[in-house]
Each structure stands twice: as structure tokens, then as C-alpha cells.
Amino acid sequence: MKELIRTGDQVLISYLTHRLAEAGVESFGMDAHMQRSLGILPQRIMVADEDYDRAQRILDEVRREG
């Protein structure tokens, strides 16, 4: 697994996870429990090594939209 993004922006995390799922890219959110408890730590979105390039393109699209 590779880290795609690390952010505390919950809206971005939610939207990116949705877009990845639409494209058939399985993602795994790490540190979500820490984000909820403390509210200060960034959450990581991880993807499989073989999906990383496609996921990075989707992340780039999401950033351009925002």
C-alpha cells in the first residue's frame, strides 16, 4: 500500500474516497479514529501499489475542481 494523501480536510477525504470508489480504486483510510478523538491529526488515504498512479490522477482532478 502507498499513501495517496495526508490531510485533515474531512470534506476532501470524503469526496476523494467517493471518486476513487467510482473509478474502482479501493482506498483505505488510516488514522480516522485519531482524527475523530483529537481533531488535530491528519488522516491518510492509502491505495494499493498497483492503483497508485490512477489514484494520483483522480486526486489531481479533485484538486483542480476545488
Domains of the chain: 2-65 (3.30.70.790)
Q: Which of 28, 15, 29, 16 is nearest to 59 (CA)?
A: 16
Q: What is the pTM of this model?
A: 0.84
Q: How confident is the model at residue 30 (pLDDT cuts 50, 70, 90)?
A: confident
Residue 43 pLDDT greater than 80, yes or no: yes
pLDDT number for residue 31: 76
Q: For the chain, what is the mean pLDDT?
A: 89
Residue 36 pLDDT greater than 80, yes or no: no
CA dist 34 and 49 (Å) reads 24
Q: Which of 31, 29, 30, 21 is nearest to 55 (CA)?
A: 21
